[in-house]
Amino acid sequence: MKRKTERYPVEAANSLWQIYKTVPFWKVVKNFIVIQIARYTPFIGVKNWLYRTFLRMKVGDETAVALMVMMDVMFPERIQIGRNSIIGYNTTILAHEYLIKEYRLGDVIIGDEVMIGANTTILPGVTIGDGAIVSAGTLVHRDVPAGAFVGGNPMRVIRAGV
C-alpha cells in the first residue's frame, strides 16, 4: 500500500533550501533540543513526558523508547505511538521528507504492543498495526498489517498477521 503523504511542490532551489518557509526556525530549535535531551535520558517516564509536553506527540502508557531514538525534528506532532510499544535503539521516525521539487508530510501511526527493532527507519505516512514486529535494521516504507512480522531493506513480510 502506498504511503499516505501530503505533497507540496516548491519553486527554484530544492525544498531543503526552503526549510524555514515550511516550518518555523524557533520550532525546529526547540524540537532539536528536546529530542537530543530525550535521546540521551535513560528515564523512560521523563522521555515520554518530554515527547508529550514539548513535542505534542501522542505516546501511549507503558511505551518504551530506547536510547538514541531520533524523532522527526520538524513535525514530531505527527507521530503517534500506541500503548505498551517498544521503539528500539537508534531508530529514526520521520514525518517529513524534503525532495528536489517538493516536500512531503505524513502522519506516522504506531499501534499498541508494537515492537520496533534497533536501527530501523520509519518513513512518513506509514501505519504500523497493533501487535506488529519490525525486525532490526528495517526500512519501513509502507504500512505494516496488525500482527505481522516484517524486516529487511526493502521491507518484506516475513510472517503475515493473525
Residues carrying an active site annotation: 96
Cα angle value 116/30/127 (rounded, 5°): 30
Q: Report the distance separating Cα 32 and Cα 155, nearest Å.
A: 28
Alpha-carbon dihedral sign for residues 64, 31, 89, 130: positive
All three cell numbers of 28, joined, read: 525546529
Query: Cell 521516525 identifies what position?
Result: 93
Q: Which positions ≥6 away from 6 have C-beta within 8 Å?
A: 104, 105, 106
Phi and psi at 147, nearest 5°, equal 75, -5
Q: In the chain, where does DSSP find H-type helix?
A: 19-22, 25-40, 44-54
* Amino acid at position 82, single letter: G
